[in-house]
Structures are given as structure tokens and as C-alpha cells.
Structure 1
Amino acid sequence: MAKTVTKVISYAELKALVGKSPSLVLIDVRGNGEYANGHIPGSVNIPLDTVETALSMSPEEFKAKYGVTKPQMDAPELVFHCQLGRRGEMATKKAHEMGYINARNYPGAYKEWSEKEGK
């Protein structure tokens, strides 16, 4: 069986989408406390251990819980990230397994984002 290659997005690519693309769904899979201490604008906090449950919800349940529209299976701009990249990669793999064909990981994660954004 071939190893699944996780699709990734670079800082520059993500920066071009944040706040500009209405179809961007940016999911921060860090814990609630980490998220509260700073996050990428527009990101939704869905901790890694709840990603599968969240993506299994009905669109109505997802919207009620997270305040954003649940991404479609073929959502073009579904991006996961964490603090250093590992949890984001795990979440992206899980999303791929569930059929989210375009899901991508931002491996630079919040660490890179906050360094480049000076936060």
C-alpha cells in the first residue's frame, strides 16, 4: 500500500487566502488553551482528538457548534494546522481518509505564522 502523501500549503499560499478567500476553511487542531493564546485570523478551533467527530457531524450540527459552514468533501481550501505541524498532519490524513480530497496541512503551523506576522 502506498504511503499517503499529505498535501501541504506554504505560509505565502495561506497568507494569500486568509481574510481574502470566502471558501477558506482553516482548522486549528491545537487545544483550546493554545488557541486562546493566539491563532491565525479566521481559524476555527477543533482540537485534534475531536476532528473525526466534527467532520462526521451534519452540516447543521457543525454550524451550531463551530459557527462556520461545514466544509464539503471537495472543499478546495480546507487547511489544518497546529503549533508545530505534527497534529495538523495527523488531522489532514484523517480528513483524507474520510474523503476530504483537497485537505491540506500547513506544516509551518502557528509557530511560523506568529513569527512571520510578528505576534
Structure 2
Amino acid sequence: MANADMEISYSDLVSLRKTSEELLLVDVRSQEEVSKGRIPGSIHVPVGEVESVFSLDPDAFRERTGVARPPLDCPALIFHCQLGRRGEAATQTARRLGFKNARNYSGGYKEWSEKECK
């Protein structure tokens, strides 16, 4: 079960996008879902690949994702999917790998697109 420190709200995400240099937003949906739209600035790592990708060394991580591998204590490592369930699973995987501040944007792309596309 998700606890509050593992979740981030829409308003918190919007504010992090404006203020955090360290934000890494990870979209864990399928390629098909991502091709229909994504949160700007997010990287795509399907939920089934989170463990292997976030276990890579920094050079291999950059080669796979195009961005630097976040430090284990990264304050702004956020996962999201369409509705929250896969994002929660990805967050738990990342925390198990030592990313102690990983969080799930539980509103997911569905909430984001509803609020941003008004």
C-alpha cells in the first residue's frame, strides 16, 4: 500500500517542474501510450524495465535514457503512468534499489492531460 511520502500531487509536480534542477520525471507507460502524449521533459522507461534500467551504471543509464543517472538521494525522482498503479510499482522498485526519495505522481498522465489541456 502506498504511503503519503511516496506520492506527489499535481500541484506539487507543477511546482517542482518550475523550481527543481534535479527533477527526473519517468513515464512508465507502454510505448503505445507514450506516443499518444507525454508530460514534457519526462523520460520513458516502461514499468517492466525500471529495475534493470535503474540498476545500470551511470554511463549505460545515460546511453539508455539520454539523461544522467540520478543519485540515490535524488530529491525529485518522480514516476508516473496513466492512472497511478504502475507508477506506484515503479516507485517501490526504485526505493528497493536505494532511491530513497522516489515518489509516484498518482494522478498520472490522465490527470495531467485533463488539467494541462484545458
Which category describes the TM-score, using the shorter chain as reference length?
Answer: over 0.9
Residues 71-116 of structure 1, C-alpha deviation per residue, up to 9 Å, x if partnerless? 1110000000000000000000111111110000000000000000
TM-score after normalising by structure 2: 0.93
Name the aligned partner's letter for residue 54 of structure 2.
L
How many angstroms apart in 1 are the aligned matches of 2:18 and 2:51? 26
Residue correspondence of structure 1 range 16-31 to structure 2 within 5 A: 16-18=15-17, 20-31=19-30
How many angstroms apart in 2 are the aligned matches of 1:38 and 1:27? 14
Structure 1 position 21, deviation (Å): 2.2
How many angstroms apart in 2 are the aligned matches of 1:60 and 1:109? 29
Structure 1 position 18, deviation (Å): 2.0
Report what 2:85 is aligned to.
86
Number of corresponding residues: 117
Which runs of 5 or more structure 2 residues have no equivalent in the other structure?
none
Residues 25-71 of structure 1, C-alpha deviation per residue, up to 9 Å, x if partnerless? 00000011111110101000000000000001010001011101111
Q: Is the 8 A contact 2:27 2:42 kept in 1?
A: yes
Residue correspondence of structure 1 range 43-58 to structure 2 within 5 A: 43-58=42-57
Which runs of 5 or more structure 1 residues have no equivalent in the other structure?
none
The alpha-carbon distance between structure 1 residues 97 and 55, as it changes in their structure 2 partners (threshold 3 A), is same
Instruction: Give the fraction of aligned pairs with identical amino acids, expressed as a percent.
Output: 50
Q: Is the 8 A contact 2:2 2:88 kept in 1?
A: no
Higher helix share: 2
How many angstroms apart in 1 are the aligned matches of 2:16 and 2:66? 19
Moved over 4 A (4+): none
